[in-house]
Amino acid sequence: LGFGAQMEVIEPLELRDRVLQAAKETIALYTKDMT
């Protein structure tokens, strides 16, 4: 499955917000582990 093109076509703000939030939480977890 290719996400690239589809992600640009299907881009509701709500979904984008959720993805961004999930990414932030993931990054936060990784940074916590590193320190």
pLDDT along the chain (35 residues), means of 10: 56 83 92 83
List, in sequence order, the alpha helices (H) in 1-35.
4-9, 13-34
What does the pLDDT read at residue 28? 92
What does the pLDDT read at residue 25? 93
Tallying the residues shown for the chain, one arrives at 35
Quote the CA–CA distance of 11 and 9 in Å, as a whole number.
6
Letter for the amino acid at 27? I
Quote the CA–CA distance of 23 and 14 in Å, as a whole number.
14
What does the pLDDT read at residue 16? 84
What does the pLDDT read at residue 4? 58
What does the pLDDT read at residue 35? 74
